[in-house]
Amino acid sequence: KQEVTQIPAALSVPEGENLVLNCSFTDSAIYNLQWFRQDPGKGLTSLLLIQSSQREQTSGRLNASLDKSSGRSTLYIAASQPGDSATYLCAVGSGNTGKLIFGQGTTLQVKP
Amino acid sequence: DGGITQSPKYLFRKEGQNVTLSCEQNLNHDAMYWYRQDPGQGLRLIYYSQIVNDFQKGDIAEGYSVSREKKESFPLTVTSAQKNPTAFYLCASSIPGAAQGFRFGQGTRLTVV
């Protein structure tokens, strides 16, 4: 059974710092991997989607990488801003049904 | 502009009651999903549907029921058999296998009183 783990559970950094969020998964036979952002009490917003055949995706200050062989993905946030404060969730798609298996999330606080 | 709408935003349930959470999308997505989120935890899949009039159980389906009579709608009923229903419920839709298009609603917070 696929299991997804995110470490750390919480992270606090000063504004302007570059940071990396980690996601690991137990079964390398994935269809895709997505990173989402969740603000308190809100739904999820998709940030980046990496297909199983891809190594990374970039959007603005965000870069996500995927290493299937080691069962790892990272989300790199450059020049962090207070507006980046949120919970970041990693989710693995196992098969073309579209089902996603989520990690527990990393709650990020960027201090001014 | 298309989207996915959940209602109500807040819902209170008395012990022994069934309640129904609404989820509607106008994105023309074939697949719809219901997830449950507990504090400090990730999302867990309750039910999903890839096509009208068909749905499958997810990892935590006990105490829940769904229907998919229309492509646009995927309501979730929390029955009295669900012993710990207090949680944040999220509905999502997608085009199975598509590179993009996994969209979430804004959630319904259910509280047992």
Q: Between chains, do A43 and B50 touch, taking CB under 8 Å as contact? A: no
pLDDT at residue number B40: 75
Cα dihedral across residues B95, B109, B3, B24: positive or negative: positive
Q: What is the C-alpha to C-alpha distance for residues A35 and A106, in angstroms, rounded to an integer?
A: 11
Is the pLDDT at A66 greater than 70? The verdict is yes
Q: What is the C-alpha to C-alpha distance for residues B106 and A2, in angstroms, rounded to an integer?
A: 26
Whether the CB-CB separation of B44 and B33 falls below 8 Å is answered with no
Q: Between chains, do B48 and A97 touch, taking CB under 8 Å as contact? A: yes
pLDDT at residue number A1: 85
Is the pLDDT at B97 greater than 70? The verdict is no
Residues of chain B with C-beta less than 8 angstroms from the C-beta of A97: 31, 48, 50, 96
3-state helix, strand, coil in chain B (%, to 5): 0, 50, 50
Output the CA–CA distances (angstroms, integers) from residue B60 to A73, B37, B79, in the order listed: 26, 11, 13
Give the closest-approach CA distance of A8 to chain B in angstroms.
Answer: 12
pLDDT at residue number A3: 93
Q: Between chains, do A97 and B42 touch, taking CB under 8 Å as contact? A: no
Q: Between chains, do A4 and B109 touch, taking CB under 8 Å as contact? A: no
Residue B86: Cβ-neighbour burial (10 angstroms; 0-12, 13-18, 19+): middle
pLDDT at residue number B7: 96
Q: What are B13's strand-pairing partners?
A: B112
pLDDT at residue number B98: 59
Q: What is the C-alpha to C-alpha distance for residues B61 and A41, in angstroms, rounded to an integer?
A: 23
pLDDT tens digit string along A12-62?
999 999 999 999 999 999 989 999 999 998 999 999 999 899 999 999 999
pLDDT at residue number A94: 77
Give the closest-approach CA distance of B16 to chain A in angstroms.
Answer: 26
Residue of B nearest to A48 (CA): B100
pLDDT tens digit string along B29-68?
999 999 999 987 789 999 999 999 999 999 999 999 999 9
Q: What are A90's strand-pairing partners?
A: A35
Is the pLDDT at B99 greater than 60? The verdict is no
